[in-house]
Structure 1
Amino acid sequence: MADLRSDTVTRPTPAMREAMASAPVGDDVFGDDPTVNDLEAHVARMFGHEAALFAPSGTMANQIAMQLVVPAGEELLAGADAHVVTYELGAAAALGGISTRTWPSRGAALDVDEIAGMIRPAGYPSVPTRAIAVEQTHNLGGGGIVPLATLHRLHDVAKSAGVALHCDGARIWHAHVAEGVPLFTYGQLFDTLSVCLSKGLGAPVGSLIVGSAERIARARQIRKRMGGGMRQVGILAAAGRYALDHHVDRLAQDHARARRLAEALEPFGVVDAAAVRTNLVPLDLTKASMDAPTLVARAAERDVRITVMLPRLARAVTHLDVDDDDVDRTIVVLSDLLRAA
C-alpha cells in the first residue's frame, strides 16, 4: 500500500524509537521533565523567541496561541480556507469566545492591502480586530508558501494597527527548506507561532506554541484548562527533538518526489506542477468527469491511498514513509484512472 493521504501517517523510525525509549522523564505539569524542557528551549531558540510550550496537537497549539492574542468576544482575521477556520471544528468560538472574520480563499496568495482594510479598531459598535492568522505552508492552498516579502508587509501592517500576528506553522519547516528562509527570520515576524512535529518531521505526536515568556506562562495555564497537561511526556518530546535534529533537511526529498508526481499528472489537467513547491500535491478535478470521492475510492482498490479535501479536490502527500517506488506506483494508478475518466 502506498499511503499518500497525509504526512500525519508517518511512523517513528527505529532510531526515533530508541531515542524515545532512553529519554529521561519527569512530571511536565510540575515543569520537571528534562526532555520536554530541552525541546521547548530548543524550539524557542530556533525561532528567536523567549519560550515555547509542548502541546499534544496542532489544533490545541493554534487554539492556545489565539487565546493568547484575542480576548473573548473580539476578533481574529484569517483566510476563508485557513486550517484554524475550516479544520478545527469551530474551536476558536467554542473554546475561546473568539469572533472570526475571513478574507476570500486564495491559499498562500495574500492581498495585504485587502487585509489591512479589514482591520477594525476598538470602539463602539464594532468588534475590534486583535489578531491576524496566516498559514505557512498553506494546506488547502496545496502547500503554497507565503512569500517572505508579503509576510514583512503584513507584519508592518499588523504592528502599525496594534494587532498581533499569529502563524499556523504546522508545515513551516517545508517553507524553510524550499525557500531557504531561516526559521529565526520567520519567527521574528510573528507574535505567536504554532509548529508541528507530527507531520513532515515524522514524530508520532506533538506541536509547540512559541512566543514571549509572559505569553507562554499564560499558555501553560490555558493548556491545563483544555486538558493538555501531560506527565512523563518526555518520551514523546524525545521523538520531536530527534525529528528536529535529523528530519528537517530531508524534507527536500519529499518536495522532489511531490514535484515528480505532479509533473507526471500535469498532462491530465488536474495539477499545475510549477505550483507544487513542497510536499502537497492538490488534484483539481473541476474539469474531470470523476469527482474526488470516486478517484480516492478507485485508487484505494489498487493499493494507493490519497484523500478527499473537497468534492472536486483530492490530495496526495509525500512524506517520510513514501519512497520512489510508492511514487512510481501512484503515478501508474492515478494516470490509469484519470486517463479512463
Structure 2
Amino acid sequence: MTTHSVVDLRSDTVSQPTDKMRARMAAAVVGDDVYGEDPTVNELEARTAAIFGKEAGLFVPSGTMGNLLAIMVHCHRRGTEALVGDLSHIFLYEQGGASHLAGVQLATLKNEQDGTFSLQDLRRRIRHEDCHEPITSLVVVEQTHNICGGKVVPLAFLDELAALVRQPGVGTGNARIALHMDGARVFNAATALGVGVERICRDFDSVSICLSKGLSAPVGSVLVGSKAFITEAHRLRKALGGGMRQVGVLAAAGLVALDEVVPLLSKDHERTKKIAKAIYGLNSPNITVDLESVQSNILLVEITQPKLKASEFSTRLSIVDAGEVEAGVTDKNGAGIVVKASARDWAFARLVLYHQVDDEQVDLAIKKLKYVIGQYDKQWPRT
C-alpha cells in the first residue's frame, strides 16, 4: 500500500495534543466538577478569567455550548433576539441552537469583508418595547472571523460598538444590550494586533474561548464573564448536559495550551502568509488569494474559474496521480503529497494552519498547490 505525506489543512481543530499536554492530563489532580471540586478545572477557569480581565470562568465541552450558554443568560426573557453577523459561526454552523434550544431569535446583520457590520444598520435594527416585536437583548461579534478568512475585527470597531450599545435610550428600560464575543480564535486576534486579549474583550460582557482549535487541546472551551453571569451559565450548563465530573484530565491540557501553544501562534500566521504569497506569485487566472487580507492562520483560496468548484479543487489536492510523482511533486523520500483542504458550497477553499504544521509541511503544501494550480492553468490558460 502506497503511503503519502499528508498535510492536513482542513481546520485547526485537527491539531493534536502535545506531549506536555498528555503528561499533564495523565497526572492531573481531579475531583467532581459538578460540585466545584476539581482543582484543575478551577485553576483553568480562574486563570482564563484573569487573562481576559473577567471575574470568573466556566469550562464547557465546546465553543458551541459556550456561545449557546451566553445567549441563554443574556437573553433570559422570553421574546428576545440576538443580533449576529450573517456569516457568523453562531448563525451558520451551530444548528440554530439559539432558537430550538434557547427560544431566542437570531437576527442577522450583513458581515463586511473585514468581519465587521454596519453600526448604522445595527442601530436601526435594535428593537425595544413594541408589543409586535422581539426585544433586542444581545449583540455578538466573532473574533477572528472564520468565514471572512480569519479577519481580525479592528479595535476601533469594537470600541465604537461598545459606545453605541451604552448610549442613553439604547436598550429596554434599565436593561442594557449585552455584548458577547465568539472568541474561538481570539488569541490569534491578539497575536495579530500585538495586544492582550483583555484589551480586545474589555467592553464585552462575555467571551467564549476555544482551547481545541489552534491551541491544540483535545476538548473544551472556557466561557468568561462576571460572577453573576457565570453562576447562571453554570446552572444552565447542567441543563444542556454539560455537567462533567472528573474533567480535570481535560482541563489540564487547556492549562498547557495557555502556557505552551499561545506563544507559537505568530508562527502559524507567518506560515499562512508564506502559502498565500506562493499562490499569489503564480499569477493564475483560475485560482488566487487576496494577499493583503491574510491576517491570521486562515487562508481563503479563491476559485475564479467558473467551471471549477471549490470542492473539486479540494478533491484534486487530496489525490496523488502518477504524473505528479514523476514530476517530482514528492516529499524527501519520494512519496506523493496529499493536501487536505476544506470546501463546502463556497467560492473558495479554506486552508487553516496550526503549530503542528511545520516549515517542512508548509513547503510540501506549496509544492502540491503549485503543481495542481499549474494543471488548471494549462486547462484554462489566460486569454
TM-score by length of 2: 0.87
Per the alignment, residue 324 of structure 2 pairs with: none
1:162-201 to structure 2, matched below 5 A, reads 162-201=176-215
8 Å Cα contact 1:309/1:315 also seen in 2: no
1:153-302 to structure 2, matched below 5 A, reads 153-160=160-167, 161=170, 162-266=176-280, 267-268=283-284, 269-287=287-305, 289-302=307-320
8 Å Cα contact 1:165/1:190 also seen in 2: yes
Per the alignment, residue 358 of structure 2 pairs with: 323
8 Å Cα contact 1:122/1:129 also seen in 2: no
8 Å Cα contact 2:109/2:117 also seen in 1: no
**Pair 243,318 (structure 1): closer, same or farther in 2 beyond 3 Å:** same
SS of corresponding position for 1:38:
helix
8 Å Cα contact 2:32/2:246 also seen in 1: yes
8 Å Cα contact 2:31/2:39 also seen in 1: yes
Using the alignment, how far apart are the partners of 1:305 and 1:313 within structure 2? 14
SS of corresponding position for 2:218:
coil
Select which of 102, 107, 110 maps to 1:101. 107
Select which of 104, 127, 130 maps to 1:123. 130
SS of corresponding position for 2:296:
coil
Paired letter, 1:44: A
2:103 paired with 1:68: no
Displacement, 1:311?
3.5
The alignment of Structure 1 onto Structure 2 pairs a total of residues equal to 341
Using the alignment, how far apart are the partners of 2:303 and 2:219 within structure 1? 32
Per the alignment, residue 38 of structure 1 pairs with: 43
Displacement, 1:288?
5.2
Displacement, 1:128?
1.2
2:325 paired with 1:307: no
Per the alignment, residue 29 of structure 1 pairs with: 34
- For residues 41-98 of structure 1, the C-alpha deviation after alignment (integer angstroms, 9 at most, x for no partner) is 0111111111110000010011001111113421100110100000001111011101
Displacement, 1:170?
0.1
Per the alignment, residue 25 of structure 2 pairs with: 20
Using the alignment, how far apart are the partners of 2:109 and 2:117 within structure 1? 9
Structure 1 gap segments, 5+ residues each: none
Percentage of matched positions with identical amino acids? 42
SS of corresponding position for 2:215:
coil
TM-score by length of 1: 0.97
SS of corresponding position for 1:247:
helix
SS of corresponding position for 1:229:
coil
8 Å Cα contact 2:127/2:135 also seen in 1: yes
Q: What RMSD in Å do the two structures reach over aligned CA positions?
A: 1.2
Per the alignment, residue 335 of structure 1 pairs with: 370
Displacement, 1:326?
1.4
Per the alignment, residue 333 of structure 2 pairs with: none
8 Å Cα contact 2:110/2:118 also seen in 1: no
Structure 2 gap segments, 5+ residues each: 1-5, 171-175, 321-337, 377-383
Per the alignment, residue 89 of structure 1 pairs with: 95
Instruction: Return the index of the structure with the highest Cα Rg.
Output: 2
**Pair 208,120 (structure 1): closer, same or farther in 2 beyond 3 Å:** same
- For residues 103-124 of structure 1, the C-alpha deviation after alignment (integer angstroms, 9 at most, x for no partner) is 1232413322222221111231
Displacement, 1:186?
2.0
- For residues 182-229 of structure 1, the C-alpha deviation after alignment (integer angstroms, 9 at most, x for no partner) is 111123210111000001111111001111101101101111100011
Using the alignment, how far apart are the partners of 1:311 and 1:45 within structure 2? 38
Using the alignment, how far apart are the partners of 1:245 and 1:122 within structure 2? 47
Paired letter, 2:28: A
8 Å Cα contact 1:201/1:247 also seen in 2: yes
Using the alignment, how far apart are the partners of 1:334 and 1:290 within structure 2? 15
Displacement, 1:126?
1.6
**Pair 39,209 (structure 1): closer, same or farther in 2 beyond 3 Å:** same
8 Å Cα contact 2:110/2:117 also seen in 1: no
